[in-house]
Amino acid sequence: MAAHQEKKLAEERKHQNMQNDTKTSQGQWGRAWEVDWFSLASVLFLLMFAPLIVYYFIMSCDQYQCSLTDPLLDLLTGNKHLSDIWNRTPMLTYRAAAIYSLWVTFQVFLYVSIPDCCHKFLPGYVGGVQEGAVTPAGVVNKYEINGLQAWIISHVLWFANAYCFHFFSPTIIFDNWIPLLWCANILGYAVSTFAIIKGYFFPTNAKDCKITGNFFYDYMMGIEFNPRIGKWFDFKLFFNGRPGIVAWTLINLSFAAKQQELHGEVTNSMILVNVLQGIYVLDFFWNEAWYLKTIDICHDHFGWYLGWGDCVWLPYLYTLQGLYLVYHPVQLRTDYAMGVLMLGLLGYYIFRMTNHQKDLFRRTNGNCRIWGKKPEYIECSYMSVDGTKYYSKLMTSGFWGWARHFNYTGDLMGSLAYCLACGFEHLLPYFYIIYMTILLTHRCIRDEHRCSSKYGKDWKCYTAVVRYRLLPGVF
């Protein structure tokens, strides 16, 4: 009898939580309903300059051995005109278009046609059909989590070709890098344009759409929360993970192959970059189900920011270290290389463990052990839009007791390691750490602003106990 009542109570609580999340979310989730001038200016700046920034970086490697200052100096001193640089830029080719179309089609095929098998034989891996978080309209989407499988199949085929079949050269990606950039841009713009049209005229879930009325803002930040085609093709999950992140490790392998072809060796710096970024990518796919609960999927709408960003920004700028090392084959001293490896692994450990601790804490409602002890936390409450009060917990022990976003700190340490692997001759490979610092600091402030309005005085209590954001004693 007691067990029966307990079960009933648990079910009621679950139902209550679900309603609670739904109601609260209507007011606090996702992007803005109204656009202030600063947001609009930022959106216009990014729409105009982000594609140019990507072009500038890739062109400077292609034409100036990865120097970021030489093209500017050439232009400012009149040594070269913009047209000179543009005329030397490889254009779109049929070959690149064919490679890119094949790649994207293959990834779509792997995503929609092959249900996950990995969870059947990999202990601890969560794959197959999984539920996402409750959307602001109260929908719980189902996702086919098969990214790890897609990654494994793509890489097995890559190695099979490189070592057995020789259908194409492993340097194929490097050899077509700029023509492929045009293809990635075409897809990025096509998918973002399709997303806004779909959002206006045939949204998957009209209640989960946000329209500010400002075309540029809506185009950039997206209208639809979870656009889908059919039951399973989810734009956010597909474009966030594949084709960009599956490609990330293949791009690095292609850069390593090119280094071997040009310089007769693969340097230890190139191996370091391949290994450290490979761990990060594999971690992403191993934890794809957890990823459904992160800010990208839970709060962001699908627009140019995600569509173009995933197609162009991520594969082209997150791989700058490998590209740089093709032009500058840095051979690191062994002790230095070991130091970089340690930093990268330590950063990865902190990143993963911090995320894991929060995940475990929230899944078990605090009934777990963190570093061998019962976790410490602050009870907090928040109101939904209809005035109902709900309860939650903020952990103050483990890595979450060191800083409020120590997961970002780990991520930044890993990012710094990729850059340090490239030596100190040029600024270009350090773009990644600069960008990640801006991205994660902004994300931290954005998230804390949201949490502060959600939890009010309880958030103040929490920040009084855990005083720093990223670095204990510093920030």
Strand 233-234 and strand 389-395: pairing?
unpaired
For the CB of residue 20, give the shortest distance to ligand NDP in the complex, in Å.
Answer: 11
Whose Cβ is closer to ligand NDP: residue 198's or residue 404's?
A: 404
The nearest distance, CB 294 to ligand NDP, in angstroms, is 3
The reply on whether position 451 binds ligand NDP by CB under 6 A is: yes
Q: Does 394 bind ligand NDP (CB under 6 A)?
A: yes
Sign of CA dihedral 235, 358, 399, 284: negative
In the bound state with ligand NDP, the residue whose beta carbon lies nearer, of 175 and 411, is 411
135 is a site residue for ligand NDP (CB under 6 A): no
SS (HEC) of 86-148: HHCCCCCCHHHHHHHHHHHHHHHHHHHHCCCCHHHHCCCCCCEEEEEEECCCCCEEEEEECHH
Task: State the residue for tokens 């490896």.
Answer: 341
Given 31, 119, 358, 469, the residue binding ligand NDP (CB under 6 A)? 358
If one counts every other C-beta atom within 10 angstroms of the C-beta of residue 291, the result is: 20
Choosing from 400, 402, 430, 432, the residue that interacts with ligand NDP (CB under 6 A) is 400
**Chain centre to alpha carbon of residue 409:** 16
CB of 29 to ligand NDP, least distance (A): 9
236 scored as a contact of ligand NDP (CB under 6 A) = no
Q: Which is nearer to ligand NDP, 258 or 404 (CB)?
A: 404
Is 23 a binding residue for ligand NDP by CB under 6 A? The answer is: no
Query: What is the spatial distance between Cα 208 and Cα 140, in angstroms, rounded to a whole number?
Result: 12
- Name the DSSP class of 376: P
Q: Of 214 and 294, which has the nearer Cβ to ligand NDP? A: 294
The SS3 of residue 48 is helix
408: contact with ligand NDP by CB under 6 A: yes
Q: Decide if residue 355 touches ligand NDP (CB under 6 A).
A: yes
Q: Which stretch binds ligand NDP (CB under 6 A): 104-112, 123-131, 138-146, 400-408?
A: 400-408
Beta carbons within 8 Å of 147's beta carbon, 6+ residues apart: 241, 242, 245, 246, 284, 285, 288
Least distance in angstroms from the C-beta of 21 to ligand NDP = 9
- Partnered with residue 129 across adjacent β-strands are 144
Interface stretch with ligand NDP, choices 109-117, 199-207, 319-327, 394-402 (CB under 6 A): 394-402
Q: Are 129 and 289 in contact (CB under 8 A)?
A: no
Nearer to ligand NDP, 99 or 395 (CB): 395
**What is the pattern of x (binds ligand NDP, CB under 6 A) and - over residues 296-335?**
----------------------------------------
405 scored as a contact of ligand NDP (CB under 6 A)? yes
Asked if residue 472 has a cis previous peptide bond (ω within 30° of 0), the answer is no
Identity of the residue numbered 356:
H
Nearer to ligand NDP, 96 or 306 (CB): 306
Q: Is 45 left (phi over 0), alpha (psi -120 to 50) or beta?
A: alpha
Taking CB under 6 A as the criterion, the residue among 395, 416, 422, 428 binding ligand NDP is 395
Which residues share a beta bridge with 322?
Answer: none
Nearest to 290 by CA among 239, 352, 242, 232: 352
Q: How far is the CB of 221 from ligand NDP (least distance, A)?
A: 16
Measured distance CA(465)–CA(348) in Å, rounded: 26
**CA-to-CA dists, residue 464 to 175, 232, 329, 401, angstroms:** 54, 44, 48, 11
Taking the complex as a whole, how short is the minimal distance between the CB of residue 296 and ligand NDP, in angstroms? 6
Q: With contacts defined by CB under 6 A, name the span among 56-64, 342-350, 356-364, 423-431 that binds ligand NDP.
A: 356-364
31 binds ligand NDP per the rule CB under 6 A: no
> Applying CB under 6 A, does 294 fall inside the site for ligand NDP?
yes
263 scored as a contact of ligand NDP (CB under 6 A):
no
What is the torsion angle, in degrees rounded to the nearest 10, for the CA atoms of residue 349, residue 355, residue 358 and residue 362?
-130
Residues binding ligand NDP: what is the number (CB under 6 A)? 20
Instruction: Check: CB of residue 244 under 8 Å from CB of residue 314.
Output: yes
CB of 247 to ligand NDP, least distance (A): 15
User: Cβ closer to ligand NDP: 176 or 409?
Assistant: 409
Residues in contact with ligand NDP by CB under 6 A are: 294-295, 351, 355, 358, 361-362, 392, 394-395, 400, 404-405, 407-408, 411, 443, 447, 451, 454
